[in-house]
Amino acid sequence: MDDIDAKLLRITQDGILLIPEPFNEVAAQLGISVDDVIHRIENMQREGVIRRFGASIGHRVIGITANAMCTWNVPDDRVEDVGAIMAGFTEVTHCYQRPRRQGWPYNLFTMVHAYTQEECRKIAKQISSATSIDDYNILFSEKEFKKTGVRL
C-alpha cells in the first residue's frame, strides 16, 4: 500500500457521493484516473487490505430496530463448525469467538438483526436448533451511542 492508496482509503472511508459517476470526484482529489482508482480498490481487495467495497445500510433507519447480541456456550472442540453454521445465517452480521470468563461460560457471540425482538428470539431458536447449542443468552440493544467502520 502506498501513499495514494492510503489517501484513497481516507477519502472513501466515510462514503462516496451518490452521483452517477462518483469515482470522478475521488480521482480528481487524488490526481489520478478513474480507472486507476478502481484498479487500486480491486488490488487492495485482492491483497486483503480491504474485504469489500460496498454500501452500508442504516438498519435502524429502515426499521430494523431489534438488535441482539446472542451469547453461546459452545464446546471448545465444536467452535469452528458451530461458528461456520451460525455465520451462515443471513440475519447474523457478526460472529466471534471470545475467551470464557469466570462466571461467564459463553465463548461464541453472534449479532442478530430483525424488525422485532420476537423475530430475534425466533432466529436464535433456529440457530440453536441448527447447531444443537441450547445454552445461550439474548442481550437486546437499547440505545446506539456510536457506529462506525474502522478508520485509517
- Residue 5 has φ and ψ, to the nearest 5°, of -60, -45
Does 105 have pLDDT greater than 70? yes
> Domain limits at 108?
66-140
Does 18 have pLDDT greater than 90? no
Sequence-distant (6+) residues with CB within 8 A of 127 are 70, 85, 86, 89, 92, 110, 112, 133
Domain annotation covers residue 130: yes
CATH of the domain at 129: 3.30.70.3460
pTM: 0.67
pLDDT score of 149: 66
70 shares a domain with 132: yes
Tally of domains in the chain: 2
pLDDT tens digits, one per residue of 36-66: 999 999 999 999 998 887 766 666 666 677 8
Domain annotation covers residue 147: no
pLDDT score of 56: 66
Q: Is 86 exposed, middle or buried (0-12, 13-18, 19+ CB in 10 A)?
A: buried
76 shares a domain with 133: yes
CB-based contact 48:111 (threshold 8 Å):
no
pLDDT tens digits, one per residue of 82-92: 999 999 999 99
Does 104 have pLDDT greater than 90? yes
136 shares a domain with 71: yes
39 shares a domain with 75: no
Calpha distance 91→13 (Å, rounded)? 24
